[in-house]
Each structure stands twice: as C-alpha cells, then as structure tokens.
Structure 1
C-alpha cells in the first residue's frame, strides 16, 4: 500500500492515541471515525444527538475538502450510534440530509458507549476518488 496523503485535524488525541483522521492510498481514502470535536479537539454537545451529528458531518466535510472530493464519492460508511432505537429516526434523517440522492453502502451499529462521556455518534467512511464528484 502506497500512502499518498495523510490528513490530521491537529488534535492532541491524534498523537496521544497514534492515528490519522484519514489516509489516501491509490484512489481510496479511508476516513477514521468522525465525531463532534472542535478545532482544539474538545468534545462538544454531550448527549445532544442532533448537535453531535451536525458537527460530525462538518468535520467529515473538512476531511473531504482536504482531498478535493465530495460526498458523492463516499462509497461506504459505518455509523456507531448509542441508544440506536431512540436515535434511529434522527440517524436516517441526518443521513438523507447529508447525502441527498447519493446512497453509499451503510452499516449502522448500535453500541453501548463511545470514547467520550455523552458521545452518541461516530461515523467512518471509505471514499473513492475515481468516482464522479
């Protein structure tokens, strides 16, 4: 695997845990789980699903913009949702609003907890740069 480009939000956790927000290899971009962090790496909106989802998509857009790709080039996503039964409808509404007519392959997993107290959503992606934008 030839790594072409690595993207970071420049948050302390990236160094503390040892990960990248995204790695581009050939035509694929593998995006780590995005969540509701601000530019300083502070977790935002504990227990507020709608606000976390909005910030998560904003952080996703930062990654996509770095690579000059669009949402239409996302080929798959995995959504990790705390209390999925309660948040399923909001997850679907947010997903439809974010992707519009584009339909990436999706897996939605109900989980008991995520990294931060009050974190209720995290989403990872695979993007194909060869698809039309």
Structure 2
C-alpha cells in the first residue's frame, strides 16, 4: 500500500460474502497499514443462511474457517492474530469446546475476551468470533 505525504494509509476493505455484507451493511475486514480488523464471523453459507444449526462445535469450526479465508486474503495466518473476541449465547458449550482453539493457535494465543451474550444476529447462531491481526 502506498503512503500519502501526510503519513496516513488508505484503508483496504475486504468482503467475504459481498451480497450478504451489502445487505447487512458491513465489510468483513479492513486493513490499514499493518493492522487488520475482522468483523465477527458466524456459521453461515454464502447466501447468509445459518449452517450447522444446533451444533456448537461445527459452528465454531465454520467461524474459524471463514476467518482463515480472510487472513489468507491478507497473506496472514492465525500467528498474526493479536486479539480474538468470542461472543456466545452458550458459554458452557464454548468452554466445553474451547480446547479446539489449540488447533487454531499453534504457537501462541492472542489477547481477547470471551463474552456470554443474550443473542446474536440470528437466533440460530451460537457463536461469533472477531479478530484483530498485525502483519509485519
């Protein structure tokens, strides 16, 4: 990315599912310089419909699969993630499956928060994961 004379960088937007993101009014990721902010990933198909309804672990895996696609777009990996926030409507199920994160973060864990929430965008969503990455 080119720097302007006042030392600011132009944001680079990325849409994983352009039609869904346009309909809901968001971009899945924005990169400014070395910083990448990634909107919460949920378990949905390309049409925006929930996937793996009722299956917490599979929803979690689907979230990480989408996040991996976004990181890859920016030539990053989970090693570049510096913050991970998890939102879930069922903290007990998340804690039961939290060890799956060992398959995602092989070298170190990022900072972040685990938050129990009343609801997510659609009632079928059990988990949403958002990330921040820093690419050197």
- TM-score, normalised by the number of residues in structure 2: 0.87
Give 5+ residue unaligned stretches, structure 2.
1-7
Give 5+ residue unaligned stretches, structure 1.
none
SS at match of 1:86: helix
- Other-structure match for 2:4: none
Give RMSD over aligned pairs: 1.5
- Other-structure match for 1:83: 90
Deviations 1:110-133 (A, max 9, x none): 111111122110000000011xxx
- Other-structure match for 1:29: 36
Deviations 1:8-28 (A, max 9, x none): 013433112211000000110
The 5 Å alignment of 1:117-128 reads 117-128=123-134
- Other-structure match for 1:110: 116
* Count of residue correspondences: 129
- Other-structure match for 2:3: none
In the TM superposition, what is the alpha-carbon distance from 1:94 to its structure 2 partner? 1.9
- TM-score, normalised by the number of residues in structure 1: 0.89
